[in-house]
Structure 1
Amino acid sequence: MTINRRHFLQGAAALPAAAAIVPATANLASASAPKVGQQVPGIYRFTVGDAEVTALLDGHLDFGTELINDLDEAKAAEAMVKNMQPMVNGSLRIPVNGYLVNSGGRLTLIDAGTAQLMGPTLGKLESGLAAVGVQPSDVDTVLLTHIHPDHSGGLVNGEGKAVFENAELAVSKTEWDFWYDDSILAGVPDGNKPFFHMARNTTSPYRNRLKLIEGEGEVAAGFTSLALPGHTPGHTGYMLNSGDESLLFWGDVIHMTGLQFTHPDMTIVYDMDPVQTAQTRRKLMDRAAADNLLVTGAHIDFPGLGRVHRDGDAYRYQAAPWQYAL
């Protein structure tokens, strides 16, 4: 309904009559309800061309600043204030997002969340799917941006069996080969070996319906892969093209919304090649800004949808307005 002056005046004229039938006791406060103490499921739908996209919040991580390489605390604090980002007990609170795309009756999931691999504040993606009426068996394709536990953990249940029993799993061949290379596993420090075991345990149940991506090209109907190496060797983005609109799912190009747009060379200890990570980030954000791309990422503030603008030698993130109707 479009509100105009006539509608407003008609509504205002009805106010005295309506007020007359409200009992005087309506002003009395009822007993206060107990606080709920938790959020509702993180779900947000929007459209891209003919496709319907559902952002799914798997939960959040409290990211300690000790995980940031070569941190300049003064610059970081200034950027956090500038970008209205609070610190929580000395940590940055970052989301873990996944995205479900319905295009032409096919359901494609980009990243699968963590399940129970990373603590009680995460693992809510599957319940988010249930809240929008989607069962794991309904999903046709899962596109992994990379094989870290906050992206692949939700692929399996507590018994190590595939959750998305009918889905094809698509991931970069470079990424797959890295995590399944026994010689690399043998050479990494003991503290890093669990990442390899988690990568294998979460993806191996999909071996018989695995699609390994090489280079850039169509990986599913309407989706094109985009190599974004650095964070991991085969880290991959996916471009959705539908109608005359596009959306780039860029995985972990950004981990910290409040810091890395302002300081694009800032990296974290989980970036396997920090120099390449920063180079990839700048190259991609230059493209996003120049082409006015709509982007979304696994760790951009939920629902993680917006555009990138140049800001001198850095960048600025503009969240997309809420889409009130689909």
Structure 2
Amino acid sequence: MTINRRHFLQGAAALPAAAAIFPATARQASASAPKAGQQVPGVYRFTVGDAEVTALLDGHIDLGTQLISGYDADKAATAMARNMQSTVNDAVRIPVNGYLVNTGDRLTLIDAGTAQLMGPTLGNLGAGLAAAGVKPADIDTVLLTHMHPDHSGGLVDAEGNAVFENAELAVAKAEWDFWYDDAILAGVPEGNQPFFHMARNTTSPYRNRLKLIEGEAEVAPGFSSLPLPGHTPGHTGFMLNSGNSSLLFWGDVIHMTGLQFAHPDWTIAYDMDPAQTAETRRKMMDQAVADNLLVTGAHIDFPGLGRVHRDGDAYRYQAAPWQYAL
């Protein structure tokens, strides 16, 4: 409905009658209600061209500041205050997002969340899918940005069976080869070996419907891959092109919205090649600025949709406004 002067005056004229019907005493609440203490499922829909995208919040992680390379508490406080954020018990609270794309012909899921692998504040992507009215069996393709457990954990259930029973799994060949290399596994510190086991356990049920991606290629109708190495060897972004619109799903190019746009050279302990990670980040943010790209990522503040702008030698993030109609 479009509000105009006539509608406004008609509504105003009705106010005295409404007041007569509902006296002031009837408007007073007399009972308290218990607090819910938890969020509702994180689900948000928006459109990109002819495609409908559903952002799905798997939950959140508190990333300890000791894991951030280059961290400066004063600089961090200034940057986070600009984003209406603050640390929580010496940690930066970040989301874990996944994205469902409905082109009308196919359902494509980008990253699958954590399931039970990373604690009680995560594992809600499946509930988000259910709230969106989508069954796991409806998914045609899962595009995996990389094989860390907060992206691949939701591929399997508690018994290790494939959750998306009809879906093809697409992941970069460089990523697959790294996590499945027994020589690399044998050579890493014992504390890092569980990451290899989780990567294998969550993806191996899809071996018989696996697409290994090399370079820039069409990976599903409307989607092309974009190598974004550094965070992991085969870390990959996916570009959705629909109608005259595009959206870049850039995985873990950014982990901390409140910090890494302002300090793009800050990396985290889980970046396997920190120098390459920072280089890839600056390259992608420069491209996002130059092309006025709409971007989203697994750890950008939910629903994780917006644009990148230059801010001196650094950058700033502009969240997209709520899309009221689809």
TM-score range, shorter chain: over 0.9
Could you tell me which residue of structure 1 aligns to residue 4 of structure 2? 4
Could you tell me which residue of structure 2 aligns to residue 319 of structure 1? 319
Once superposed, which parts of structure 1, at least 4 consecutive aligned residues long, lie more than 4 Å away?
none
Q: Does 1:200 align with 2:215?
A: no
| Partners of 1:305 and 1:24 in 2: CA distance | 43
- Displacement of 1:24: 4.3
Residue ranges of structure 2 left out of the alignment (5+ in a row): none
| Partners of 2:56 and 2:48 in 1: CA distance | 16
Deviates more, 1:83-92 or 1:99-108: 83-92
Q: How many residues align?
A: 326
| Partners of 2:282 and 2:324 in 1: CA distance | 32
| Partners of 1:193 and 1:112 in 2: CA distance | 21
What does the per-residue CA deviation read over 1:138-173, in whole Å, with 9 as the maximum and x for residues that have no partner?
000000000000000000000000000000000000
| Partners of 2:176 and 2:116 in 1: CA distance | 22
> Which AA in structure 1 matches 2:47?
T
> Which AA in structure 1 matches 2:194?
P
SS in 1 for 2:120: coil
| Partners of 2:302 and 2:28 in 1: CA distance | 38
What does the per-residue CA deviation read over 1:112-149, in whole Å, with 9 as the maximum and x for residues that have no partner?
00000000000000011011110000000000000000
Could you tell me which residue of structure 1 aligns to residue 54 of structure 2? 54
- Displacement of 1:83: 2.0
Could you tell me which residue of structure 2 aligns to residue 234 of structure 1? 234
Q: Does 1:107 align with 2:143?
A: no
Could you tell me which residue of structure 2 aligns to residue 174 of structure 1? 174
| Percentage of pairs with the same residue | 83
Could you tell me which residue of structure 1 aligns to residue 286 of structure 2? 286
Q: TM-score scaled by structure 1?
A: 0.99
Deviates more, 1:18-27 or 1:146-155: 18-27
| Partners of 2:2 and 2:46 in 1: CA distance | 21
RMSD of aligned residue pairs (Cα, Å) = 0.8
Is this contact kept in 1: 2:113–2:151, CA < 8 A?
A: yes
| Partners of 1:82 and 1:46 in 2: CA distance | 26
Deviates more, 1:64-73 or 1:277-286: 64-73
> Which AA in structure 2 matches 1:147?
M
Could you tell me which residue of structure 2 aligns to residue 81 of structure 1? 81
Q: Does 1:187 align with 2:149?
A: no
Deviates more, 1:23-32 or 1:135-144: 23-32
What does the per-residue CA deviation read over 1:82-132, in whole Å, with 9 as the maximum and x for residues that have no partner?
222121122111000000000022100000000000000000000110111
- Displacement of 1:70: 3.0
Is this contact kept in 1: 2:238–2:249, CA < 8 A?
A: yes
| Partners of 1:77 and 1:10 in 2: CA distance | 50
Is this contact kept in 1: 2:77–2:86, CA < 8 A?
A: no
| Partners of 1:100 and 1:22 in 2: CA distance | 45
Q: TM-score scaled by structure 2?
A: 0.99
Residue ranges of structure 1 left out of the alignment (5+ in a row): none
SS in 1 for 2:238: strand
Q: Does 1:28 align with 2:28?
A: yes
Could you tell me which residue of structure 2 aligns to residue 135 of structure 1? 135
- Displacement of 1:30: 2.3
- Displacement of 1:18: 1.5
